[in-house]
Amino acid sequence: MSTGAPSARRLPAELGTWMFVLADMTVFAFLFGAFLVDRSGQEEVFRAGQDRLTPAFGVVNTLLLLTSSLAVATAVRRLPRGGPSIPRLLGVAVACGLAFSVLKVVEYREKLGHGLDPKSDDFFMYYFVLTGVHWFHLACGLVLLGVMIATTRRGAPLSPSARSYVEGGATFWHMVDLLWIVLFPLLYLV
């Protein structure tokens, strides 16, 4: 039984990071809402568009992002001790993000090769806009992960400001993952 004072819980990263994430997710919520409203008025168009997607791409990309988030979460849990495993775990997340990007390029080429683009119909306009904006966020997250690797490369425990930066980058990466967790069923399954 512990007799000491309970440890104070703290919010990882800076408050500004959380405000940015909340604002960004609010924008996506409006986009998701617009998608659903338009879908309700054009069910056949959206169903036909969805039938032209390849769910296997979405499943593999979901597994890649879940794996990357697990690696980032594990790296952040190890921050207080430091160690060489942290940059390696972040490297796993980068590899998963790059693999996601390669699959997205393959998927886009497939769709464009079949004459499907944002001008094809409203479903494909949403498909390319939503996945494109998500992909932009993923690319920004990959840059953040690269800086996080450089920050943790020494293996020593981090200063409070460096730790806060790494936690902020991890928060952003988890947001990218969460957005995909909503996008995947919205576009590929519902």
Using the predicted structure, report yes or no on whether residue 12 has a pLDDT greater than 80.
no
The pLDDT-based confidence of 92 (bands split at 50, 70, 90) is very high
Flag whether 138 is in a domain.
yes
Q: Is-contact 148 190, C-beta < 8 A?
A: no
Flag whether 10 is in a domain.
no
Flag whether 159 is in a domain.
yes
The pLDDT-based confidence of 83 (bands split at 50, 70, 90) is confident
Q: Is 121 left (phi over 0), alpha (psi -120 to 50) or beta?
A: beta
Instruction: Give the integer Cα–Cα distance in Å for 38 and 29.
Output: 14
Using the predicted structure, report yes or no on whether residue 5 has a pLDDT greater than 60.
no
Could you tell me the residue range of the domain that residue 66 belongs to?
15-189
Flag whether 9 is in a domain.
no
Which CATH number characterizes residue 185's domain?
1.20.120.80
Flag whether 174 is in a domain.
yes
Flag whether 113 is in a domain.
yes
* Residue tagged 């790296």 (tokens): 75
Using the predicted structure, report yes or no on whether residue 158 has a pLDDT greater than 90.
no
Q: Is-contact 31 128, C-beta < 8 A?
A: no
| Neighbouring C-alpha atoms within 13 Å toward the C-beta of 30 | 5
Tokens representing 181? 């967790």
Instruction: Give the integer Cα–Cα distance in Å for 132 and 31.
Output: 13
The pLDDT-based confidence of 16 (bands split at 50, 70, 90) is confident
Flag whether 144 is in a domain.
yes
Flag whether 8 is in a domain.
no
Q: Over the stretch 119-156, which tens digit does the pLDDT of each residue have?
A: 999 999 999 999 999 999 999 999 999 999 999 998 77
Overall residue count recorded for the chain in this entry: 190
* Residue tagged 């940059």 (tokens): 87
Instruction: Domain count for the chain, please give it.
Output: 1
